[in-house]
Chain A
């Protein structure tokens, strides 16, 4: 149990607590707008950025962020080109990102250890810079959501109505893309690029089962996210398991439990 009091674990806990709020919140808006796969795509592309960061000796998460933002705009452009086959753009950009990452990683030597830590997360290696970045991203997301929740709701529920109300829809779409890219780049070190998507989408999936109102769905994603991150870190710490994987499996366990409970309620009533 002494791991819990160690410094690296407490850093991990702080980072996890922050990402446990922001990732599910951004994820809720993405899922409701039927963009669940965006998280996966952006995280795969930002891995290429991380690789480039290592190669040129720049803070990898920052380069990853730039790549993620570029990818989100590329997706938007391709989405317009294909319109009715919008998911194509996601598939293209995602595989492009992974291909680029694999090239960059093989170009540099001795980076193999780091590849793993960005693919599957290495929450115990969070340094001060990482925590500041995560803190900054969390602050940005919370301020935007706190002040713009009603506009984001309208945009998510009915984009046409938002436009007819005179809301700057394009600006909001860009803002959501950039915030998503920020959250993903900041989460990569915590749960890993391959698992970021779970932290974005599974809490939202839970809220679709539980919530009766938009308000409730916002609360649900935060509670589920925090619950999974904190208990996942504790379980992983005590039994020496991979933290990212533990968090994601816990999220899935919560989702299954909720599904079972709902079934029970239906059968019972």
Chain B
């Protein structure tokens, strides 16, 4: 109840994810015990923990794929089980386990980010195609659009899945170890892109990462909260900019062109 009041009062910085005394046990083993935590609008939350700490479990509860054994999970103030506005949420699961032979092009995969409850009987229109093209361009994979998804390298696949998550221009982006199995250079440019999005767009981030150096240098060494083996590192939005909304696709495209042209890019996260 108290949390609800905070959400209402915060206005622009409302709570996007609210965890209230959440517990999860699997086969009589407690994975998560009495966890209470809130992610505010435009926060960047890095979730760190050892293997088996319950990072992925927590993310899966937040997106409604798992039910907590006790406690409540709310998205934008609403219980997950009753939540309807899924287009507000972009989810990039841990290394996609799709079959490399699966006959789907990159474009078909990215476009599928638009398919949701409200579009069940609707056809894909020009507007959707344009959104898809924007997302492909933002991630710099427009030349790969007709390739089969299984033919892409790990880094390219991750970009494709990020493009799929971004196609709805979500308010909350949830990333589960997005850089696993990707070479260091690609990891850096990926993280750079994520930071850019956080600093210039009206977007909240919840990211599980093994990449301690990159995440800690941006979010700070000291965890803002701990529960069991889970550590939450947070960068609040007021540390970056006010709530400004601008065109994600074009801004990312600009960023990419800058990076590709070899111009020196100031790592915005490092200026603090």
State the A residues within 8 Å of B (CB). Answer: 32, 34, 147-148, 150-151, 153-154, 157-158, 160-168, 207-208, 211-217
Contacts and interface: CB of A to CB of B under 8 A. Distances in A.
Given A157-B98, A167-B117, A215 B108 contact: yes
B112 interface: yes
B172 to A, nearest CB: 11
A165 B104 contact: no
B135 interface: no
B70 interface: no
B115 A214 contact: no
A151 B164 CA distance: 15
A207 B89 CA distance: 33
A27 to B, nearest CB: 14
Given A160-B93, A212-B146, A150 B115 contact: yes
Contact of B112 (A147, A153, A163): A153
B44 interface: no
B65 A163 contact: yes
A160 B121 CA distance: 21
Interface string B109-152: 10011011101110010000000000000000000001010000
Contacts of B98: 157-158
A165 B114 CA distance: 8
B65 A153 contact: no
A158 B117 CA distance: 16
Interface of B: 63-65, 84, 86-87, 89, 91, 93, 96, 98-99, 101-105, 108-109, 112-113, 115-117, 119-121, 124, 146, 148, 164
A154 B112 contact: yes
Given A148-B120, A217-B103, 7 more contacts: A157-B112, A161-B91, A161-B93, A161-B112, A163-B64, A212-B105, A212-B148
Contacts of A161: 91, 93, 112-113, 164
Contact of A211 (B84, B103, B121, B146): B103
A32 B93 CA distance: 20
B116 A214 contact: no
A contacts with B: majority SS: helix
Contacts of A208: 101, 103
A214 B117 CA distance: 21
A168 B116 CA distance: 9
Given A161-B91, A167-B115, A150 B124 contact: yes
Contact of A214 (B103, B113, B146): B103
A165 B116 contact: yes
Contacts of B105: 212-214
A167 B164 CA distance: 16
Nearest to A217: B103
Of B87, B104, B113, B124, the most chain A CB neighbours within 10 A belong to B104
B146 A153 contact: no
Contacts of A160: 65, 91, 93
A157 B102 contact: yes
A216 B12 CA distance: 46
B204 to A, nearest CB: 16
A151 B64 CA distance: 18
A153 B103 CA distance: 10
Nearest to B101: A208
A160 B103 CA distance: 18
A70 to B, nearest CB: 28
A167 B93 contact: no
A165 B86 contact: yes
A78 to B, nearest CB: 19
Contacts of B93: 158, 160-161
Contacts of A207: 103
Given A157-B104, A213-B104, A150 B112 contact: yes
Nearest to B83: A166
A100 B21 CA distance: 51
B67 to A, nearest CB: 12
A166 B78 CA distance: 14
Contacts of B89: 164
A164 B148 contact: no
Identify the 10 closest CB pairs spanning chains A and B, nearest first. A166-B86, A166-B117, A217-B103, A165-B116, A211-B103, A213-B105, A154-B112, A164-B91, A214-B104, A164-B63
A213 B102 CA distance: 9
Contact of A164 (B64, B96, B146): B64
A165 B91 CA distance: 9
B104 A153 contact: yes
Contact of A212 (B96, B103, B121): B103
